[in-house]
Structure 1
Amino acid sequence: MNLNTILPKVESLSQSLQAALVDKINHKTKPLGALGQLEAVALQVGLIQQTLTPQLSNPTLMVFAGDHGVVNAGVSPYPQAVTAQMVLNFLQGGAAINVFARQHNMRLRVIDAGVNHEFDANTDLIHAKVAAGTANFLQEAAMTQSQCEQALATGASLAKQEAAAGANVFGFGEMGIGNTSSASCLMSVLCAIPIEECVGRGTGLDDAGLAQKLSVLKQAIDFHGMRGDNALEVLATFGGYEIAMMAGAMLGAAEQHAVLLIDGFIATAALLVAAQLQPNILQYCVFTHCSGEAGHRRLLAHLGATPLLDIGLRLGEGTGAALAYPLVQAAVNFLNEMASFESAGVSTAEAGAGETA
């Protein structure tokens, strides 16, 4: 498989409308900058869509599921079988992401990227399994280069299909017992940050469990002895099929000039890989929240990201993306519907009068 043919090409955003968008934002009936981050989001969405009147259509949440061989080394208090059980919960509509997706009229797409379970035929599940879980990266690479490329290409193709069906805003989520271990290693190696600063409690490890997890991940990183200058090699070594497929979907959606809603620690680790492959992708990303998982705040800082929410979420599933979506809607709505000083007949502030009403 030729990587140059499977990886989407993400364009740098044209800045030709920036001055006009800023002018439109600044002439709304409010003090300059009074809508805070919503103003930055409105500008960003306008630049992504290259219009002064952006529209959000068919918001879609793509939740990727996969299992991790490193779970056999005791890095999670939950058994691997929980991954498949939660996928069934998604399909039955009972998970948090189902609740929030329904609340905000977002389409939920659940993808089996590599769960160690054979699901029955189900029209609501996208069957895209690369393999039945990754290998234990404490002893060998999590996946082969070919499997890694397959996951990336499949994710890109799935996102392009959703875009062709009318989606121009995507949220990304995941489910996979052990995937905070994978994300921690990806972060540590790709960002050259000590693993101690990347590892958290995941699904609720106690102190002894956290110490065990840290010990395993340190051993794994030492065993492979890699540098972070080859993102694909690092992804194949430490990643999960759901992480790789999500990275591909992010690239595919950005290629279609969609708005990307980035969820928590796992999704941001997937983006970290995607950004090393196509740096322009960061221009399309709205960082929806800062996770309560240790390491996420540091990872956001590494990417120069300012999240919209910081409310202690650490569930995954794309829940932060779903909860933040109304804020993105609000940004687009004020840009399109809020009166200007001129149209409302409201006097503007006198020169030098400051920015508060």
Structure 2
Amino acid sequence: MIMTGELSWLDKPAPIPEQSARTAAIARQKQLIKPQGALGRLENIAIDFAGFQGRENPQLDNLSVRVFGADHGIAARGTSRFPQAVTSVMLKLFCEGGAAINVLSREQNADFAAINLGCVVPVEHPDLIDEVIAPSTADFSRGNPAMTQTQLALALNAGRRQSTDADCFIGGDMGIGNTTSAAAIFAALFELEVAEITGRGTGIDDAVLARKVELIESALEQHQAALRSPLTILQTLGGFEIAALTGAFIASAQRGVPVLVDGFMATAAAAIAGAINPSVKPWLLYAHLSDEAGHQLALECMGVKPLLSFNMRLGEGTGAVLAISIIKQALNLHNKMFTFSEAGVPVAD
């Protein structure tokens, strides 16, 4: 697929995090009243955010959280414990403020919104952002790609429109059947054995898991000729919400806004985003290790290490918003600790 017209923006390079600010932050870390390296990854987080913000003392005041919801054609093959109607129920609940992501986002005073890209059961709410493309993607296990090129462009651009000039962007997902789509993306992108990367999603039993693996294997064989680029992999196997996350991640990085990537589905979008436009990779941080089987393997393939491991697999962006508390404390330590000279403590040569 050639990136022209509506998708030409995908190629625009993201800025390089400012090295001078990183250097100043590294110097400050060496002066803080502690042994060098004693705060472990908290020190690296502060240095990263200094580079993102171009200043020695970064802040995290403005957090943007967007949850993208859509249904998947593959779900009709029985790959989930729950009916597709749940996608619509959850999108409405996000707008009413009753879901886990709402609780966590309120605690962080985050700018929150939910985006509907297309559900089998129509859903309406005055606070729901309407970006409906179709009731669901096509069933990619039956020979057709999940999306047409036009639908893919619509989903990517819907995600792009949700990028803001926040201090950090978090994208969440909701869509019955989306672990099947994400597993298929990872298997195609990294040439993995399907059984290694495919998990139980909503808690399916062994028989349903075996069918899920078989459906993905069959789809990869049917679409083998099309799976030659990250964009065609996304078009063939992805969901509208995964494509929207991909667009939001790329656009955020292009604006110089760091992205905190959530779990299995968000990581699939991040993997595609980095494959489409490698310049965005320094702007993508990984929040947590999902309990979904295959997530650790996917992260290893990408060469990245998550911040937390709490056995979570909810999606919605919950693990990422939870990790914001850790990032804020990393910045507080960096900015507010005394230096050796301020504390009047001599330093050995």
State if a TM-score over 0.5 links the two structures: yes
Tell me how far apart the structure 1 counterparts of residues 125 and 88 of structure 2 sit (CA, whole Å). Answer: 14
2:261 matched to 1:257?
no
Which residue is equivalent to 1:74? 78
Tell me how far apart the structure 1 counterparts of residues 99 and 175 of structure 2 sit (CA, whole Å). Answer: 14
| Cα drift, residue 334 of structure 1 | 1.6
Which residue is equivalent to 1:59? 63
| SS state at 2:260 partner | strand
Tell me how far apart the structure 1 counterparts of residues 302 and 16 of structure 2 sit (CA, whole Å). Answer: 17
Task: Give the stretch that moved more between structures: 221-230 or 86-95.
Answer: 221-230
Given that 2:64 and 2:169 are in contact with CA atoms closer than 8 Å, whether structure 1 keeps it comes out as yes
Task: Give the stretch that moved more between structures: 280-289 or 264-273.
Answer: 280-289
Which residue is equivalent to 1:312? 311
| Cα drift, residue 320 of structure 1 | 0.3
2:287 matched to 1:293?
no
Which residue is equivalent to 1:232? 231
TM-score by length of 2: 0.95
Which residue is equivalent to 2:325? 326
Given that 1:75 and 1:216 are in contact with CA atoms closer than 8 Å, whether structure 2 keeps it comes out as no
**Paired amino acid for 2:306:** P
Tell me how far apart the structure 1 counterparts of residues 124 and 315 of structure 2 sit (CA, whole Å). Answer: 25
Q: Deviations over 1:257-302 (max 9, x none)?
A: 1121110000000001100111121211221100000110011111
User: After superposition, where does 1:119-198 map in structure 2 within 5 Å?
Assistant: 119-122=123-126, 124-139=127-142, 140-159=144-163, 162-163=164-165, 167-198=166-197
Pairs aligned (count): 344
TM-score by length of 1: 0.93
Tell me how far apart the structure 2 counterparts of residues 194 and 102 of structure 1 sit (CA, whole Å). Answer: 40
Given that 1:250 and 1:274 are in contact with CA atoms closer than 8 Å, whether structure 2 keeps it comes out as yes
Tell me how far apart the structure 2 counterparts of residues 116 and 227 of structure 1 sit (CA, whole Å). Answer: 27
Tell me how far apart the structure 1 counterparts of residues 62 and 23 of structure 2 sit (CA, whole Å). Answer: 28
User: After superposition, where does 1:101-112 map in structure 2 within 5 Å?
Assistant: 101-112=105-116
Q: Over aligned residue pairs, what C-alpha RMSD do you find?
A: 1.5
**Paired amino acid for 2:132:** K
Tell me how far apart the structure 2 counterparts of residues 189 and 171 of structure 1 sit (CA, whole Å). Answer: 25
Tell me how far apart the structure 1 counterparts of residues 118 and 325 of structure 2 sit (CA, whole Å). Answer: 31
2:36 matched to 1:32?
yes
Given that 1:75 and 1:181 are in contact with CA atoms closer than 8 Å, whether structure 2 keeps it comes out as yes
Tell me how far apart the structure 1 counterparts of residues 122 and 13 of structure 2 sit (CA, whole Å). Answer: 34
Which residue is equivalent to 1:355? none
Q: Deviations over 1:124-147 (max 9, x none)?
A: 211111221100001110001121
Distance 1:127 1:61, change over 3 A: same
Q: Deviations over 1:304-328 (max 9, x none)?
A: 1111101100110000011100111
| SS state at 1:236 partner | helix
**Paired amino acid for 1:130:** I
Structure 1: stretches of 5+ with no match in the other structure: 352-357
Task: Give the stretch that moved more between structures: 17-26 or 256-265.
Answer: 17-26
Distance 1:190 1:226, change over 3 A: farther
